[in-house]
Every structure is written in C-alpha cells, then in structure tokens.
Amino acid sequence: NGLRIAVIPGDGIGQEVVPEGLRVLRAAAKRFSIDITFDMFDFSSWDYFEKHGTMLPSDWKEQIGGHDAIYFGAVGWPEKIADHVSLWGSLLLFRREFDQYVNLRPVKLMPGVPSPLAGRKPGEIDFYVVRENTEGEYSSVGGRMFAGTEREIVMQETVMTRVGVDRILHFAFDFANRTKRKHLTSATKSNGIAITMPYWDERVEEVSKSYPEVAWDKYHIDILTAHFVLNPQRFNVVVASNLFGDILSDLGPACTGTIGIAPSGNINPTGEFPSLFEPVHGSAPDIAGQGIANPVGQIWAGAMMLEHLGYPEAGAAIVRAIEDVLAQPAFRTRDLGGEADTETCGKAIAGVLEAA
C-alpha cells in the first residue's frame, strides 16, 4: 500500500515537463524508499476534447478520486478552445469538486534566477501566498439581460460564505503559526468593494483571535501589489480571496523572477479528496513541441506533493537539487538565459538526487 498518484499531463508543454517531473519523483522515491505508483490519464486536454467533445469522461471522479494526489501539467489551448470552457471543464472543476479550497504558492528568490527587482538577494524574499480556491469572485452565478441591445447588462456575483472564508483563514493562520516569523498579511479592498470585502475583514479579525501568537496586518489589494514590488521582504504568509490570490501568486513569482518555475498546490486539507499539484505556468502553446520548456515548475510541484503526502525530507531534497542545478548556467533553459533543453535540465536535477 504505497502512494498512488494520478498523472494528468494535459496540453502543450504539460506533455513535455510532466515526464521530467516524474523522472525526478522516481529518483526521490528511490532515494527515500517511497513506494509510488503513477497512473497516467489523457483527459483534461484538447486532444481528449477533440475526440470526445468534453474535457473529462463522465466517471472522472471514480477514476482519479481515490488517488492520493493528482500530478497535473497544464491545460488550455486558447486558439483551439475557449479558456473558460477548457478550464471550467477541468482544472477549476477539480478545485471545486475535490474541495481543494487552499491554493498554496511559495514566493522565493532562488539562486541563479535573476530578479527584475534591483538589489535583492536570495533568502531576502521568501513567503507564501495562501489563496481561497473555491468561491469568492470565481462564482458561476450571474447572467446577461437585454442581450445584444444598447441596454445590455451583465452581472456576476461574488459569493463569500462563512464556511468558505473561515476555513481558508484558519488554514492561513495555522500555517503562519508554524513558521518562524509568525506573521500574516490579509489582502482586502474594503474601501471600494464595500459589501463582500468588509465581511472578509470582519472574519480575519474574528479568526485571528484563535491564533494569539500570530501578528497580522491588512492592506488594500492596490497598495499591496505595490508593496510586493517595493517591500517584498516584509511578507511571510499572505492570505487572499480567490481573485486577489490569483493576482498575488503571479505577481509574487514575477518579482522573484520565478514565474516560469513556481509551483502551486491545490489542497484539500481534510484529506477527503486528492489534492492537486501543478506548475504556475500554463500550457504555453507558443513553445510547445520544441522540447525547450523549463521543467522546474513541474518538478518543484512534485516536491510540494511529497511534502503534502508526508515526506517533507524528500520534498526538501528536491528543492535543494533544484537550487543546485539552477546555480549552474549549463543546466538553465532558454527562459533563464541558458541553452539547456527540457530533458537536460530534468536529468540534471534527477542526477543530484541519484548521486546523493
């Protein structure tokens, strides 16, 4: 009874980086004697959609719901299928149906990765974005009236529930409580979004009482994005609604130069359903098929997955192997100014684990 992982490479460069992720996971499994089985799935992709007219088979929940985790590449191919069809038909559906209510993303300045910010050193920027992943601004409630006329009106609800807001806040405060700095920042916009956001603030105030050791502050999202650029060293754990978390967890990695290599965990903390681990980057159709994509995000996502599944040492070893390899120009892919291809980079990282 080892680990069973459902692997979904998906679209575009997902097909190229997932094999490297698996290579590294196998190396880590060997080194740390973890028994892992990988089951491959071809759905959640344009190819599957073209054949079947849907993103997923009707029994997708039975097929992957019993696995310990989902290892996901990327989905979407905007020229072939509208984003909201492919995404709401797979990735966003998984998040909701598997109640992966936490999206966790590290923001970390890595060695060998140039940051666009002036004068920042590795170690100086190192925090997490905790994003609510199932409700809020990403609702499916709303519609259009007087369609096609001058009076046309389109409305969409932001929906916040006590259950949904409190559980993400508890996760974030608890997570912050386990860090050294014990600090949390909440993203809000209660001065402009004057119905839902004051509620978010109210619950932060309330939930914070259960974590007296965590110091916290809050910023409106506009000035918070400014602080990501101006004072990124200030942050430890940042908790945010679905939309704000989406923005901050792209902006944070952009500030550390790691947008192409950052990972993302879509976590169901109760363990009732499998959690899903993926790189932050998308399917990148423009460079797909050339074998030049950077596999580090996919590999780092594997590290998060092992950590989540109870193998923190194996996860940490993968992150260290990534840092080792990134420090060597010969193994950097084009996006980082190097010339290595996807496989060369992946093999180098696996090699560090095998050699150790």
Contact between 132 and its own copies by CB under 8 A: the answer reads: no
Q: Which of 282, 214, 239, 7 is nearest to 105 (CA)?
A: 239
Q: How many residues does the chain have?
A: 356
User: Cα angle at 140 between 136 and 146, to 5 degrees?
Assistant: 120
Of 135-143, 175-183, 303-311, 313-321, the window that binds its own copies (rule: CB under 8 A) is 135-143
Nearest approach in angstroms of CB 253 to ligand IPM is: 11
Q: How many degrees, rounded to 5, is the angle at CA 57 between CA 159 and CA 285? A: 75
What is the token pair recorded at 150? 């001058």
- Give the count of beta carbons closer than 10 Å to the beta carbon of residue 255: 21
According to CB under 8 A, which residues from 90 to 109 bind its own copies?
A: 92
Q: Pick what 38 binds: ligand IPM, its own copies, none; C-beta below 5 to 8 Å, kind-dependent.
A: none
| List 192, 271, 291, 312, residue binding ligand IPM (CB under 6 A) | 192
156: contact with its own copies by CB under 8 A:
yes
Tell me how far apart the alpha carbons of residues 193 and 188 are, in angstroms, rounded to a whole number: 9
Size of the residue set binding its own copies (CB under 8 A): 62
Q: Considering only CA atoms, which of 278, 282, 261, 247 is closest in space to residue 335?
A: 261
**Cβ atoms of residues 35 and 3 within 8 Å:** yes
338's contact among ligand IPM, its own copies, none, with CB below 5 to 8 A by partner kind, is none
Q: Which stretch binds its own copies (CB under 8 A): 37-45, 154-162, 271-279, 302-310?
A: 154-162
- Indicate which single residue of 20, 137, 246, 341 sits in contact with ligand IPM (rule: CB under 6 A): 246
Classify 29 as helix, strand or coil.
Answer: helix
Closest by Cα among 100, 251, 105 to 168: 100
Tell me the backbone φ, ψ of residue 148, rounded to 5 degrees.
Answer: 80, 0
Give the footprint of its own copies on residues 199-258 (CB under 8 A): 199, 221-223, 225-227, 229-230, 242-243, 246-247, 249-251, 253-255
Contact positions vs ligand IPM (CB under 6 A): 87, 92, 191-192, 222, 246
Contact positions vs its own copies (CB under 8 A): 76, 83-84, 87-88, 92, 115-119, 137-138, 140, 142-144, 146, 149-163, 189-196, 198-199, 221-223, 225-227, 229-230, 242-243, 246-247, 249-251, 253-255, 259
